Structure 1
Amino acid sequence: MMRAALAMSLPTYDRIVDTSFLDRLSRSVDLAPGVLTEFTSPAALASLADVDVLVTGWGCPVLDAAAVAAAPRLRAVVHTAGSVRGHVTPAVWERGIVVSSVAAQNAVPVAEFTLAVVLLAGKDVLGATRGYRARRARPGAPDPLNPGNPGNSENPGNPRNLGNYGATVGILSASLVGRRLLELLRPFDLELLVHDPYVPDADLRALGAEPVGLLELAERSDVFSIHTPLLPDTRGLVDARVLAALRDGTTLVNTARGAVVDAAALEAELRTGRFTSVLDVTDPEPLPADSPLWDLPNVVLTPHLAGSQGNELRRLTAAAAAEVDRLAAGLPLHHPVPHPALSRTA
Structure 2
Amino acid sequence: MTATPGDVWLPFPAEEVAGLPDSFRYRQWDGEDAFPADPADCVFYVAPYMKSAEVTVRPLAAMPAVRVVQTLTAGIDHMLGGLADLRPGVRLCNAVGVHTASTAELALALTLASLRGIPGMVRGQDREEWRSGFYDALADKSVLIIGYGSIGSAVEDRLVPFECERIERVARSARTTERGPVHAIAELPRLLPQADVVILVTPLTEATRGLVGAGFLARMKDGALLVNVSRGPVVDTKSLLAEVESGRLRAALDVTDPEPLPAGHPLWHAPNVLITPHVGGSSSAFEPRAKRLLVRQLTRFAAGEPVEHTVLITE
Q: Deviations over 1:1-23 (max 9, x none)?
A: 8433216xxxxx3xx547422x5
- Residue in 1 that maps onto 2:52: none
- Which structure 2 segments of 5+ residues have no match? 50-54
Cα 1:130–1:219 change in 2 (3 A) is farther
Give the direction of change, closer, same or farther, for the CA distance of 1:133–1:97 in structure 2 (3 Å limit): closer
Q: CA deviation at 1:298?
A: 0.8
Question: Does the 8 Å contact 2:93/2:311 carry over to 1?
Answer: yes
Counterpart residue type for residue 20 of structure 1: E
Gap change, CA 1:128 and 1:217, over 3 Å in 2: farther
Greater strand fraction, Structure 1 or Structure 2? 2
Give the secondary-structure state (helix, strand or coil) at the position aligned to 2:191: helix
Mapping for residues 15-94 of structure 1, pairs under 5 Å: 16-17=12-13, 19-21=15-17, 23-25=18-20, 27-35=21-29, 44-45=38-39, 48-49=40-41, 51-58=42-49, 59-62=55-58, 67-68=62-63, 70-71=64-65, 74-87=66-79, 89=83, 92=86, 94=88
What is the TM-score of this pair, normalised by structure 1? 0.73
Residues 1-346 of structure 1: pairs in structure 2 closer than 5 A: 2-6=5-9, 13=11, 16-17=12-13, 19-21=15-17, 23-25=18-20, 27-35=21-29, 44-45=38-39, 48-49=40-41, 51-58=42-49, 59-62=55-58, 67-68=62-63, 70-71=64-65, 74-87=66-79, 89=83, 92=86, 94=88, 96-126=89-119, 136=129, 153-155=132-134, 162-190=136-164, 191-196=166-171, 198-200=172-174, 202-203=175-176, 205-208=177-180, 211=183, 213-339=187-313
- Residue 20 to residue 184, structure 1, CA distance change in 2 (3 Å): same
- Alpha carbons of structure 1 residues 108 and 4: separation in structure 2 relative to 1, 3 Å: farther
Whether contact under 8 Å (2:75, 2:204) holds in the other structure is no
**Going by fraction, where is helix more abundant, 1 or 2?**
1
| Secondary structure, aligned partner of 1:322 | helix
> How many pairs were matched up?
301
RMSD of the alignment, in Å?
Answer: 3.5
Shift of 1:62: 4.9
Letter in 2 for 1:104: G
What stretches of structure 1 of length at least 5 have no aligned partner? 8-12, 138-151, 341-346
Query: For residue 146 of structure 1, what is the aligned residue in structure 2?
Result: none
Q: Is the 8 A contact 1:170 1:224 kept in 2?
A: yes
What SS does the aligned partner of 1:6 have? strand
**How far off is 1:211 after superposition?**
2.6
CA displacement at 1:272 relative to structure 2: 1.4
- How many Å apart are 1:102 and its aligned residue? 1.2
Q: Deviation at 1:260?
A: 1.2
8 Å contact from structure 1 (residues 129, 153) kept in 2: no
Distance 2:220 2:304 in 1: 51
| Residues 107, 176 of structure 1: 8 Å contact kept | yes
Bigger Rg, structure 1 or 2: 1
Asked if the contact 2:268/2:275 (under 8 Å) is kept, the reply is yes
TM-score, with length taken from structure 2? 0.79
Identity of aligned residues (%): 29
Q: How many angstroms does 1:136 deviate by?
A: 4.2
Higher RCO by CA contacts (8 Å cutoff, separation 6 or greater): 2
